[in-house]
Chains A and B, each alone.
Chain A
């Protein structure tokens, strides 16, 4: 039989044994996150695709009366080197003047549902397979404009980068994408599934 002070001491020892690994685990987890984040920051500084940390983000006032914010945010994440953005208005003019080839980087399903008139479909996930069929049209184009679904997708950027690799230096990106094209009243063409 143990005395009350002995029981209390045993209980305290047990608590210490349980508490120590928990604190160690949490401290280890915090250390892993901090070290990983520090490496991320360091690599970002020297990366060719460096993005400015804690950059300010502009509130888009598109469509808002009196220039007031709509509450929607458009992050000013820069495009990779060599790529320039195109606005919806510029894209509309290019379509009107017929001096640009639009490249839809979305999936074939979404392409069939609707796309910018005259676009060709070059899905980011199937670029290598689809590129040979599109090469002739791309070579004839004065200007190439890639687009994907929304401002947050990176398929159009990926396709534009791949086109740059093939020396299509006339490639630009519709950064606000299909979503804003439709909202902005851009023309839409639909194609029945084969």
Chain B
């Protein structure tokens, strides 16, 4: 049973699906934020965790990390490293979300912009991040890329 599950999880098609889902979601979330660092800094400020000096830093860099890493994962370029970055970000988001919920702050998730249908931060969103984290572990453990797939087909 476990062997079957592992065989299923490491199948290249499952790997491609995981990369597309995780990378695609980060691309979609980060792309509209690229040229709006001030709005991102405000969203991050809502969590009241980061030192104010770091808010600007987060606003300027985070959307680019999301988009570039998401793009790399979708394309299968440095898939293991890209998956590691996104898994790290998901752990960070879950930690920040948990801390915020435990402190009783009612804020928007900030995952997407409000005008894109952002939701209030809740335990359901942390569960979603947890599922995404599971999917991000697939390319981290069994990395696959289009280059590798092409080689396999050619060989």
Question: What string of 1s and 0s marks CB contacts (under 8 Å) between A74-106 and chain B?
Answer: 010111100000000000000000000000000
Contact (Cβ within 8 A) A47 B35: yes
- Rounded to whole Å, the gap between the CB of A64 and the closest CB of chain B is 17
CA distance A27 to B46 in the complex (A): 32
Among the listed stretches A1-9, A11-19, A49-57, A136-144, which one makes contact with chain B, having 4 or more residues with CB under 8 Å of it? A49-57
Option from A29, A73, A77, A80 in Cβ contact (under 8 Å) with B84: A29
Number of interface residues of A (CB under 8 A): 46
Given known contacts A51-B37, A73-B52, A150-B46, is B115 in contact with A41 (CB within 8 Å)? no
For residue A158, which residues in chain B have a CB less than 8 angstroms away from its CB?
39, 113-115
Tell whether, in the assembled complex, residue B117 and residue A125 are in contact, meaning their CB atoms are under 8 Å apart. yes
| B14 in the interface (beta carbon within 8 A) | no
B127 to chain A, nearest CB (A): 22
**Shortest Cβ gap from A102 to chain B (Å):** 19
State the interface size on chain B (CB cutoff 8 A).
42
Interface residues of B in 82-122 (CB under 8 A from A): 82, 84-85, 88, 107-108, 113-117
With A53-B56, A57-B52, A152-B46 in contact, do A32 and B85 touch (Cβ < 8 Å)? Answer: yes
Candidates A29, A43, A150; contact of B88 at CB < 8 Å: A29
Chain B nearest CB, measured from A80 CB (Å): 7
A124 CB–B CB distance under 8 Å? yes
B15: chain A residues within 8 A (beta carbon): none
Complex Cα distance, B54 from A54, in Å, reads 7
CB closest chain-A residue, reference B67 = A36
B42 interfacial contact with A, CB 8 Å = yes
- A43 and B34 contacting across the interface, CB-CB below 8 Å: yes
| Contact present for B56 and A36 (CB under 8 Å) | no
> Are B78's CB and A36's CB within 8 A?
no
Alpha-carbon separation in the docked complex, A75 to B49 (Å)? 13
In the A-B complex, the 8 residue pairs with the closest CB atoms: A28-B81, A57-B52, A152-B46, A40-B64, A154-B39, A37-B61, A40-B61, A36-B65
Q: What residues of chain B have their CB less than 8 Å away from a CB belonging to chain A?
A: 34-39, 41-43, 45-46, 52-53, 55-57, 59-65, 67-69, 72, 78, 80-82, 84-85, 88, 107-108, 113-117, 140
Known: A40-B62, A43-B64. 9 other contacts (CB 8 A): A29-B84, A32-B68, A40-B64, A43-B35, A47-B37, A50-B37, A75-B45, A153-B42, A153-B46
